[in-house]
Structure 1
Amino acid sequence: MPEQRPKTSFLHSEDQLKNPSPENTSDNSTKGSVVDSSDFSRRLNAVIPGGAHTYSRGDDQFPSNAPQILQGGKGSNVWSPDGRRFIDYGMALRAVSIGYAEPEINAAAVRGMELGNSLTRASMIELEAAERLVSLVDSVDMVKFTKNGSTATSAAVKLARAYTGRTLIARCAQHPFFSYDDWFIGSTPITRGIPTETIEQTKTFAYNDIASLERLVSQYPDQIACVILEPVASETPATDAGQGTNYLQQVQALCRTHGIVFILDETITGFRWDMGGAQKTYGVTPDISTFGKAMANGFSVAAVAGKREVMELGAINRPGEERLFLLSTTHGAEMSGLSAFLATMDFLERNQVIPHLWSYGAKLMESFNRIASRHGVEQHIKAGGPAANPYYLTLDQKGAPWFALRTLFAQEMIEQGILMPWLAFSYRHGEDELRRTELALERSMEVCAKAIREGVDKYLRGPEIKPVFRRYN
């Protein structure tokens, strides 16, 4: 048993909450700190498997000088109990697209709470939220709300299997995460605890390679229930000049021809590409869509949504039809979260948040690559991808992922007060944040250039970051 610890609280007085974060300092100093943060990792891992409730928040995803725990966030900033403050480019795993603790969104959530939060029957807010989502996304006739993207995608897969009477799942190999459920995890290297028959039911295909999906369909005729992929991740849909169609449109056509349910996972792209989803940007109409992340600016809201003929399999108003037990979650329609969703949609539309995300991302990528080039490391550290959701890579001499260099780069950015595990940003990232990020990039790239010449291990302070999907710890 872990040793008993005092039940320490980091909730403070009203005055402290009005000005919750430490003052900005150029050196990110921890002088005057009254909290020793060195023990948080041990305490977290003693009571939480993995030390956090998503593996991408774990110790093995950050350099050793990263804050072991965070106390709060406001706008584009987060801070730790020891007084360190950072501009954040993690943004709660991309779930916060406006900014942390946005007053308008928080106030809406409180209004939902004050109405009882969760009632004995469906609520007015639940109805309004469902009608709002249906009005925003052209492919959506019906929606079921839930609390996370994993639940939504698993419900979508279940719907597809029920609708087609088939078993197999085809999922895109390049898209890193769909669900914590066995149907997906069984197709990664982490197969412990998953039955072989479950592993064999999920097949993979390559993004922007329609032939790889066509081969699966030919290899397993009339056996594939659904194709599931994100509309875009690191790559955007390629266009076939001869046919005048893009890759997603080709996937849709193939699914229609073979009676396969087309599932588009918009957990990340939804309400970030366009208010109508990336499906509107790329001209496709999926049978089922899933949403999450930026739906409610950090509040727990996700959804599985789609065509009536598929979604109605989970209905109870079709007498004599065999039932499908779709989603039944006590807290799936909490009024706090759905009120935050409605307020988030209002805020996104009124403040043109989505164009800001595209603009800021383009500026950030340009600065990132320009500074890398100036320091001669452009072949080893580079940013790319769609501007609304870019990525950065660290590559070795052969062009393979270089985790030691990624760790060093993240380590040096933290030294400059920038938490950059990946590239996610919000409406509250503005010109000042960009300027401070550019200064941090200059200093960090300078160190990385030296390390590439002299040996990265010489500059690393701790173990290197590891991939989440690996068979052994």
Structure 2
Amino acid sequence: MDTEEFRLPRSQRANERLHAMIPGGAHTYAKGDDQYPENLAPVISHGHGAHVWDIDGNRYIEYGSGLRSVSLGHAHPRVLEAVRRELDRGSNFVRPSIVEADAAERFLATVPTADMVKFAKNGSDATTAAVRLARAVTGRPRVAICADHPFFSVDDWFIGTTPMSAGIPVATTELTVAFPYGDLAATEELLTRYRDEVACLILEPAGHTEPPPGYLQGLRELADRHGCVLIFDEMITGFRWSEAGAQGLYGVVPDLSTFGKALGNGFAVSALAGRRELMERGGLRHSGDRVFLLSTTHGAETHSLAAAMAVQTTYAEEGVTARLHAIGERLAAGVRDAAAGMGVGDHIVVRGRASNLVFATLDEDRQPSQRYRTLFLRGLLAGGVLAPSFVVSSALDDADVDRTIEVVAQVCAVYRKALDVGDPTPWLAGRPVKPVFRRLV
């Protein structure tokens, strides 16, 4: 594996084109070329199953497909068949399609802890609708977010709390407060400090670690005692933890929850779901003030809803969640063994649930390092592995995983050399990768 010989000239030129027309060069900051080693950000031509091809002609084993959205693999035949059935029948009408009723029934059968559901196109719209609804039903202004979870929405109530807060009024940001994951005492102290002001607690029910015993149940009790709405952001945990999400796995029912990512296998669809008495406030069958819950022209496009139904059927009939866990366990064990074998087991660390693995790249002092991440990503790319994370899809097979482990072992040998000299710079060939959330470019 020679990272010095690995070049992406066509992708480099295409990235220049993208930046000339699209702010940031991509439509999602997490896909930006600043997230990859300099001049080694591949521009994708197409994908199939667990593989993608860049416009330079390189094939990669892909992880984190579509930022975790393509959990069945690219161009999944069952999903495409469902989509094609709808394409010739029209996709958007002046009144609801019967497909909307079918999709709602299918979703609520999959997530039986919810009574009603409303579909949208992206996760931010769903989480913001949940926050708006919580404020409406409680009459309270503040939103409490989990400080340990990286992203909830592109909207002001959340982005104002990040380093990229330019353009967001301070008065808006001040209405968002934070609580630490896993710490019920700290959360209760927050709710007591802002007594009768907090509309909702919003968090991912699980992340890189499992929830401490009794934690989610304790949050449920705190929300009830303090009269606030409990919202589970299941964008990532939905389907990957269980078909019914983390709430189905852990047996704790939130008032509202949001789904997306895996729901459409790459097609644009998200969902806000929850208790009827709350959700109905966004409808026409109540006597209170109306809530502008969700109203999206494209939220119920028939082909995306058909994709969602096909995904749910595939998960249920083919045991996809169990397969994701099995693939992830095999990968995690192999990567850990490879890292340990090269003497870097304390520096390349695999974390998270098997179906949702990420990795940390640590320096000589075992601190997170963007420079060592750059070294690691360069080696993976040169070996034909596109892996901003190790989040698996069900399309990966044993050969893919074995090849990934082989490449990781090769990169670990270089990583060891960099640690021995105390400086990865000779292996970077350019600027380090950068965190998504930062104040300055």
Q: Give unpaired runs (5+ residues) of structure 2.
A: none
Partner of 1:216: 190
Shift of 1:168: 0.3
Shift of 1:460: 0.7
For residues 6 and 342 of structure 2, the distance between their equivalents in structure 1, rounded to whole angstroms, comes to 30
% identical aligned pairs: 45
1:442 aligns with 2:416: no
Quick check: 1:64–1:411 contact (8 Å CA) kept in 2? no
Does residue 48 of structure 2 align to residue 81 of structure 1? no
1:466 aligned onto 2:440: no
Q: Which residue of 1 aligns with 2:78?
A: 104
Amino acid in structure 1 at the alignment position of 2:315: L
Q: Which residue does 1:233 correspond to in 2?
A: 207
User: Conserved in 2, the CA contact under 8 Å of 1:71 and 1:79?
Assistant: yes
Residue 180 (structure 1) aligns with: 154
The DSSP-based 3-state class of the residue aligned with 2:305 is helix
CA distance in 2, matches of 1:55, 1:148: 15
Give 1:137's aligned residue: 111
After TM superposition, give the deviation of residue 135 of structure 1 in Å: 1.4
Aligned partner of 1:324 among 291, 307, 317: 291
Q: Which has the higher helix share?
A: 2
**Mapped contact 2:12–2:41 kept (Cα < 8 A):** no
Is 1:313–2:281 an aligned residue pair? yes
The CA deviation at 1:403 is 0.7
CA contact 1:361–1:387 (8 Å) conserved in 2 = yes
Deviation at 1:396, TM superposition (A): 2.2
**1:253 corresponds to which residue?**
221
Tell me the secondary structure at the aligned position of residue 44 of structure 2. coil
Equivalence for 1:3: none
Which amino acid letter does the alignment assign opposite residue 380 of structure 2? M
Aligned residue among 320, 344, 347 for 1:380:
347
The residue type paired with residue 351 of structure 2 is G
Which among 127, 130, 141 is matched to residue 167 of structure 1? 141
- 8 Å CA contact 2:131–2:200 kept in 1: the answer is yes
1:90 Cα deviation from its structure 2 partner: 2.3
Shift of 1:30: 8.9
TM-score for the superposition, normalised by structure 1: 0.90
Alpha-carbon distance in structure 1 between the residues aligned to 2:84 and 2:375: 41
- For the residues of structure 1 that align with 2:429 and 2:390, how far apart are their CA atoms? 23
For 1:400 and 1:166, how far apart are their aligned partners in 2?
A: 40
Tell me if structure 2 keeps the 8 A contact 1:152–1:303.
yes
Stretch deviating more after TM superposition (165-174 or 130-139): 130-139
Residue 65 of structure 1: CA displacement?
5.0
User: Does the C-alpha gap of structure 1 residues 26 and 349 become closer, same or farther in structure 2, counting only changes over 3 Å?
Assistant: farther
- Structure 1 residue 292 corresponds to structure 2 residue 260: yes
Deviations 1:372-422 (A, max 9, x none): 111111111110221111211111233321110011001101010001111
**Deviations for 1:75-129, whole angstroms, at most 9, x for unmatched residues?**
0001111101100012010001101011221121121222211111111111101
- 1:71 equivalent in alignment to 2:45: yes
Compared with structure 1, are the counterparts of its residues 256 and 366 closer, same or farther at alpha carbon in structure 2 (3 Å cutoff)?
same
Aligned length: 439
8 Å CA contact 1:65, 1:411 repeated in 2: no
1:37 Cα deviation (Å)? 3.1
TM-align CA RMSD: 1.7
3-state secondary structure, aligned to 2:419: helix
State the secondary structure of the residue aligned to 1:71. strand
| Contact map agreement 1:289 1:304 (CA 8 A) in 2 | yes
Equivalent residue in structure 1 for 2:231, among 254, 263, 282: 263
AA at the equivalent of 1:457: T
